[in-house]
Amino acid sequence: MPGPDTLRFAGIATALLGGAIRGSIPYMFVSLGECLTEKSGRVNLGMEGILLMGAMTAFGVSEWTGSPWLGALAAAAVSGLLGLLHGGLTELPGVNDIAAGIAMIILGSGLAFFFGKQFTAPMAPQLPVLDLGGGIGNTAARAALRISPLFFLGIAAGFALHYAFEHTRWGLHLRAVGDAPEAARSMGIPVRRHRIAATAIGGALAGIGGSHLTLYFPGIWSEGISGGQGLMAVALVIFAGWSPRRCLAASLLFGGAQALGPSLQSAGVTGLYHVFNASPYLLTLVVMIASCSRTRAMAGMPGALARRG
């Protein structure tokens, strides 16, 4: 017979796994979107605003049409437009992408809060979940294995992006654009078009991540719903060394850190609850300090970002 401590540990581990899978989804989509954007040689700090717009749009459209899938699609479309706006703005002469990104945070969250104010319904129709643990008796384990289809979509997107970078003409051109824009231009690759496209698709991906925030349990809209995940996902791309597959792993890590507080609480550990809740932020800080120290080479960084100094 396993002792009570073993059971309790198993409980925490199961809750943590479920929480990591749930919590990783926004990180996954935003970091993949940011990875794509940065591979083209641009930074989009506006992901936080885009994520919020995605969450709000998904909620609104899902509630209005009754179809959560349409909600997720609309989130991708609206966020893609915001990405397009950022991509277009930063191609204007004299526009700095960092400054434009900060403006995008403010614009995106402002728009989301403004339209979000109109919502009267407490909940919108939610995306279906895949009940992978249907036969398991343990309720905690069953809850952990109720997984959103977006999780698998995110994994697929990560591998698809990796494939695109390595095995398609578009991916090769995009990497050349991000690595050596002048060289790409001399080979007749349209630098501007690639950057705008990458930033727009990156925004759309982040929007899908946003839809998870409002279309998964408990499925409510609130202004604090993103909790800085959009910004943390930007840091995560650095941590993942600009590799889509490593973005997936890093997202699980960040999702797990985010689940630490709630899963300990569910197992009855209530001390230091707020400290554990702050773990994703601490993790971001640690990642930034570790990866931005002057004495470590930023391997994998697109050349256009490295040379801006």
Partner 1 sequence: MPTPPVVEALGISKSFGGLRALDDVSIEVPSGSFHAIVGENGAGKSTLAKCLLGFHRPDSGAVKLDGMAVTTPAEARRAGLGMVFQHFTLAPSLTVAENLVLARPDLPALLNWSKEKERLRAFLDTAPFRIDLDARVDHLAAGEKQKVEILKQLYLETRALILDEPTSVLTPAEADEVMTVLRDLVTGGRLSVLLITHKLREVMAYADRVTIVRRGRRVASNEVRQMDASRIAELMVGSAQPPEQAIRRQVRERRPALEIRDLRVLGDQGLAAVDQVNLKVHTGEILGIAGVSGNGQRELVQAIGGQRGIESGSILAFGVLYRPSRSAIRRAGLLTLPEEPLDNACVAQMSVAENLALRSFEHPPMAKFGFLSDRSAIRRSAEAAVRRFSIRTPSIRAAVRTLSGGNVQRLVLARDLGGPDTRIMVAANPCFGLDFAATAFVHNQLIALRNRGGSVLLVSEDLDELMTVADRILVMSGGRIAHETLRADLDLAAVGRYMGGHAG
76 vs 176 by CB, closer to partner 1: 176
120 scored as a contact of partner 1 (CB under 8 A): no
The mark string for 286-305 relative to partner 1 (x by CB under 8 A, - otherwise) is -------xxxxx--x-xx--
Provide, rounded to whole angstroms, the least separation between the CB of residue 197 and partner 1: 14
The residue (of 141 and 180) whose beta carbon lies closer to partner 1 is 180
123 touching partner 1, by CB under 8 A:
no
Name 195's Cβ contacts closer than 8 Å, sequence gap at least 6.
40, 41, 42, 87, 90, 91, 177
The residue among 172 and 249 lying less far from partner 1, judged by its C-beta, is: 172
Pick from 22, 173, 195, 246: which binds partner 1 (CB under 8 A)?
A: 173
Binding-site member from 9, 152, 170, 217 for partner 1 (CB under 8 A): 170
Rounded to whole angstroms, how far apart are CA atoms 27 and 307? 27
From the number of C-beta atoms within 10 Å of its C-beta (0-12, 13-18, 19+), residue 47 rates as buried
d(CA 192, CA 202): 15
Stretch that binds partner 1, among 43-51, 131-139, 151-159, 167-175 (CB under 8 A): 167-175
From the CB of 207, what's the least distance to partner 1, in Å? 26
- For the chain, report the end-to-end CA distance as a whole number of angstroms: 61
Question: Residue 50: which residues within 8 A CB-CB, separation 6 or more?
Answer: 44, 79, 82, 83, 104, 108, 203, 206, 207, 210, 230
Query: Looking at beta carbons only, is 173 or 246 nearer to partner 1?
Result: 173
Stretch that binds partner 1, among 15-23, 140-148, 165-173, 220-228 (CB under 8 A): 165-173
Question: 7 or 193, CB closer to partner 1?
Answer: 193
Burial code (b: 16+ CB inside 10 Å, e: under 16) for 263-280 equals bbbbbeeeeeeeebbbbb
Residues paired with 131 in a beta bridge: 146
Joined tokens for residue 254: 């960040």
Residues 6+ away with beta carbon under 8 Å from 286: none
Residues in contact with partner 1, shown as a per-residue x/- string from 254 to 293 under the rule CB under 8 A: ---------------------------------------x
For partner 1, give the closer residue by CB, 88 or 171: 171
Minimum Å gap between C-beta 38 and partner 1 is 13
Burial 166-182 (b: 16+ CB within 10 A, else e): eeeeebebbbbbbbbbe
CA dist list (Å): 97 to 44, 45, 212: 7, 8, 27
* Residue 182 Cβ vs partner 1, minimum distance, rounded to whole Å: 7
Residue identified by tokens 């979509």 is 153
Binding test (CB under 8 A) with partner 1, winner from 172, 249, 269, 288: 172
CB of 301 to partner 1, least distance (A): 8
d(CA 201, CA 32): 10
**Site for partner 1 (CB under 8 A): which residue of 2, 134, 169, 224?**
169
Residues 177-236 that bind partner 1 (CB under 8 A): 179-180, 182-184, 186-188
Beta bridge partners of 130: 147
- List residues near partner 1 by CB under 8 A: 167-170, 172-173, 175-176, 179-180, 182-184, 186-188, 293-297, 300, 302-303
